[in-house]
Structure 1
Amino acid sequence: MRSELISVPGDPARPDEDYASVGLPASGQGGSIVVLDGVTPPAADHGCLHSVPWFTARLGGALGELSVSRRDLTLSEVLSRAIARTADAHRTTCDLSHPRTPQATVVLARWSPESVEYLVLSDSVLLVGAPSGEVTAVLDDRLARVPRAMLTSHAVVDTALRNKEGGFFTAAADPAVADRAVTGTLPRAGVRTLTALTDGAARWVEKFAEGTWTDLATLVRKEGAESLITRVRTLERSDTTRRFLRTSKTHDDATVVHVEL
C-alpha cells in the first residue's frame, strides 16, 4: 500500500487544529486512518483550560491506537472509548458540559484483508475509490441541512443545534455521540483508495465547485494532496469579493490523507 498525508494551517501564526494519522499494525494485514478537524471556539470562555490542538491530539491518538489494537471493537465503539478516554483526561479541571468544550469532526477508516470499515461524524469527508475508478463520497450532511436562517449567532447554534436532535453532532465529551456517526463496511476487494479530507481541503468541491468528488480524488491520486491544497489556497486568495467564501474564514486548516490499498 501507499499513503500520503498533508496538513496546512489556515494561518501560519496559529496552531493547526486538524489532526491526521495513518496506522499500520506490525502484522502488515491492515491499517487505519484518522482525520479530525478541531472546532475553533469563539473568543469567549468555553469552560476548558486546554486548547483545541491539545484535544485533537488526545482524541486522535486514542483513535489511532484503539483502531489498530482493538480490532474486536466496531469503529463506533472505538470512537466512544476514545471520547471517554479523552474526557477523563480533563474532566476534573474543565467544564465538559459547556457546549463549546473542545470538539472535532471525525473521519475514521480501518481495513483488513477482508473488509474496509468507515465512520464519519460531522462535515469532514471520506472518499472511497473502487477499482473501476468510481468514487463514493461518505458524508454526514446534517450540518449542511440546517437552514441558513438558523445559523444567526454562536449562541443560537450552541443552544439549539450543536449536538442536538435536529442539528448536528461532533466528538466532544459525550461517548454516546459515536452512535450518531455515519458508518458502514465494504468488501476489501471493492476498495482501491481512501481519501479523507477536512472541510478546509474539501472547499475545492463544496465552496468553489471546481469539480466533483471523483475529480478531486483523481487530482489527489495523480498530482498529490499538496497540489489540491495549493489550488484551494489560490482560489481563496482570488475570491476578493467573497462570492464563494461569504462569511467563512479566508483560509482554513486543510488536511488530506490518501491511501492506496
Structure 2
Amino acid sequence: MSVAGMYEAGKAPDREVVTREDLNNFEHLRKLVTGMKLDAQYEVIPPAGIVNLNRDNHVVICGPRRSPIVAQVLEGDDNLRFAKDTAWHVVDQVTGKEYRSPADEDGSAGDVGYLGRLPRLDGKGTFLYLAGIHAIGASGVVHYLENNLAELYREVRTRRFSTLISCRYDPKSPGEPTRHPAVPTRRLSMRVAIDTQPGGAAPNEDWVAGTPTLAIVLDGLSTAGLDTGCRHGVPWYVAHLGSQLVAALADPEILLAAGLSDALERVAALHPECDLRNPGTPSATVAVLRQRAGFLDHLVLADSPVVLEGHQDITVITDLRVDDVLVELRAEVEQYETHTADHKEALRRFVAAQRQIRNTPAGYWVAAADPEAADHAFAGCTATEDVRAAAVLSDGVSRLVTEYAMATWAEVFTALRTGGPRELINTVRKVESTDPTGRRWPRYKSGDDASVAFCQW
C-alpha cells in the first residue's frame, strides 16, 4: 500500500510524515486483508508525488493534489472528476452534480471519499485507489470496504469502476466514521486498443475503430481483379461504411442491425453514379461490440468474429455461412500454392461464383449496397459483468486459432494483455512466414489484412 507523505511544518525538508488518518487507514486495511490470508506493507509516497503504479495487488491512498501521476490517471475516469474552485470537490460527470465536503460547506463533521479500481500506466492491470476531499474521507472509504467488500465484489468483480462514499464522523473520535454510497458504483468505460496492418503491398482493405463504448472491425472482400462497377474501390467503401456506422451507433437506443442498415443506406447514397447492382460491388464483413447499461451488444455479418473472454470460458461469435457454399471451388483454390498462375485463376473462378450467391438466401450475407443485409446479421447481448475482456477481429488475425491452430483463444488474450494488438498481428505474420506459399495452410493469399480491437474494463 502506498500512502501520501508530506513535509512536517517547520521541520527539515527531508523529514517526511504521514497523517494519522492514513496510518489508521493502513492498519484497518491490513486487518481486512489479513482475514483473507494476505499480508500487507506500506510505503510512503514522497512529497513530490512520484509513485510506481505498475505493480500487482497495489492500493494507493493519496489525494490527486499530492501526486501528479495519480492525477493523470484520474483524468481517464469519465464518471467522476476532482475539481477545485474555492475548495476541492468532486463532479459527477454523468449528472453534473457537485459533491463537496460538509466540512467546507458548513463546518460540520463529514467528508466525501473516492473509491475506484483504476488502470495502471503500463496497461497491464489495475490498482485500487482511495482518497478523500480531506484525509478523513479516505477513512470513510476504508470503513465502507470493511463492511461492504463482498457486496462490492459481486457488483464489479475484477472490472474497473469508481464511486463516491459520503461519510459522517464524531469530531471526538474521527477515526470511526459512518458511511454510505453517495453515487451509484459505475464501471468505467471500455478501453479499446486497435491496430491494423495490410497483408502485403496492396492497400489495406480492413478498417477498425474504437471508442469508449464501441469497437468495430470491417474486412473488405477481395475482388480478385474482377470488375466491381464502382470507381471508388474497397478501401474507400470500408472507410465510409465504418465512419457511418460509428455515427449511427452513437445513440445507445439504436439496435446494432438498425444502425448497420442506416449506414449501408447512407454509403450507397454517397456514390449513386456507380453500378450498385453489380454483384461485385464493394463489400465487407462486419463485427461490432457495443457497451451500454450493463450489457455488451454484438453483431457479426460473415466471418469476422467477436470473442468474449468470460470468467470461466471463452465464447466465439461468428458467422460461417460462407464456408457452407461452393466447397468444391474452394478446394480447387486451396490445391495450388499462392502466387502461382493456377492459384490466381482458380481464385477468380471462385470469387466470380461467390458473387452470384452473395446476399441471397441460397448463399451468405455481407455488407454491400443493400440495407437488407443487416437483417441477416447475427446479433445478441451479454451481461457486462460476465465478460473480462473482448476481442473484435478480422479473419486475418483469428486464423491464428481457427486455421493455423498455432494458438488457443486463451493464449490470444494473454498476448493482447502483454503486447497489445500489434504484437498479436506480428505473431500471425511470424507464423505465416514459415509457410509463405500456403502448402501447410492452404489459403487465398500469403498474408491477409489483419485488424484487432481489444476491449478491456
- Output the TM-score relative to the length of structure 1: 0.90
Partner of 1:141: 320
Pair 1:15 & 2:203 matched: yes
Q: How many residues align?
A: 250
Shift of 1:44: 2.8
Partner of 1:72: 253
Partner of 1:39: 221
Preserved contact between residue 137 and residue 213 of structure 1 (Cα < 8 Å) = no
Shift of 1:57: 0.7
Partner of 1:200: 396
Task: State, as a whole percentage, how many aligned pairs show the same letter.
Answer: 35
Partner of 2:13: none
1:61-84 per-residue CA deviation (whole Å, 9 max, x = no partner) reads 01111112x222100000000000
1:199-241 per-residue CA deviation (whole Å, 9 max, x = no partner) reads 1111211221113333323322233222211111111111146
- Output the TM-score relative to the length of structure 2: 0.53
Pair 1:249 & 2:441 matched: no
Pair 1:158 & 2:388 matched: no
Structure 2 distance, partners of 1:217, 1:188, is 17
Preserved contact between residue 207 and residue 244 of structure 1 (Cα < 8 Å) = no
SS in 2 for 1:117: strand
| Rg (Cα) greater in structure | 2
Alignment counterpart, residue 2 of structure 1, candidates 191, 203, 208: 191
Preserved contact between residue 192 and residue 215 of structure 2 (Cα < 8 Å) = no
- The aligned amino acid for 1:148 is V
Preserved contact between residue 201 and residue 256 of structure 1 (Cα < 8 Å) = yes
SS in 2 for 1:153: helix
Preserved contact between residue 122 and residue 140 of structure 1 (Cα < 8 Å) = yes
1:153-196 per-residue CA deviation (whole Å, 9 max, x = no partner) reads 2222222x311223211100010111111100111211221201
Unaligned runs of 5+ in 2: 1-189, 331-348
Pair 1:119 & 2:315 matched: no
Structure 1 distance, partners of 2:270, 2:279, is 18
Structure 1 vs Structure 2 CA RMSD? 1.6
User: Which structure features the higher share of strand residues?
Assistant: 2
1:102-144 per-residue CA deviation (whole Å, 9 max, x = no partner) reads 11000111102321100000011110112x1521100101112
Pair 1:109 & 2:289 matched: yes
Unaligned runs of 5+ in 1: 25-30
Preserved contact between residue 223 and residue 351 of structure 2 (Cα < 8 Å) = no
- The aligned amino acid for 1:156 is A
Partner of 1:209: 405
Structure 2 distance, partners of 1:242, 1:19, is 25
- The aligned amino acid for 1:142 is R
Pair 1:190 & 2:386 matched: yes
Structure 1 segments, 4+ long, off by >3 Å, are none
Structure 2 distance, partners of 1:84, 1:142, is 24
Which structure is richer in relative contact order (CA contacts within 8 A, separation 6 or more)?
1
Partner of 2:365: 169
- The aligned amino acid for 1:206 is T
Would the alpha carbon gap of residues 153 and 249 (structure 1) be closer, same or farther in structure 2, given more than 3 Å must change? same
